[in-house]
Amino acid sequence: MSFSKSKFRIAGLTAVAGSVLPALASATTTVPTADSFLTLEATDLAAIVSYVGTLTTDLMPIIALAAGIPLALFVIKKVIGMVKG
């Protein structure tokens, strides 16, 4: 990479930053308050926890296989290594 190419890249980034940053600084933004951003009631939280519990119960065989198969292969490899000496 030559010096002139990097010089033009820096100049291009400066031009973009020079045109975008003032526009962002002048834009008015509204920050949502805590009560309007996300509202959860006790029944909503109970429904979420219930759904996560059901999902975990349903996925447990897949999770056990995903952890068990590599572990079983590791143990088999170690046993074969111990038998070979």
pLDDT in tens, 27-75: 555 665 656 677 778 888 899 999 999 999 999 999 999 999 999 999 9
pLDDT in tens, 16-28: 555 555 555 555 5
Residue type, 14: T
Residue 12, in any domain of the structure: no
Residue 33, in any domain of the structure: no
Sign of CA dihedral 50, 54, 55, 60: positive
Question: Whole-structure pTM over 0.85, yes or no?
Answer: no
What is the domain count for the chain? 1
Residue 25, in any domain of the structure: no
Look up the domain containing 83 and give its range. Answer: 40-85
Residue 64 Cα to chain centre, angstroms: 23
CA angle 42, 45, 47 (to 5 degrees): 110
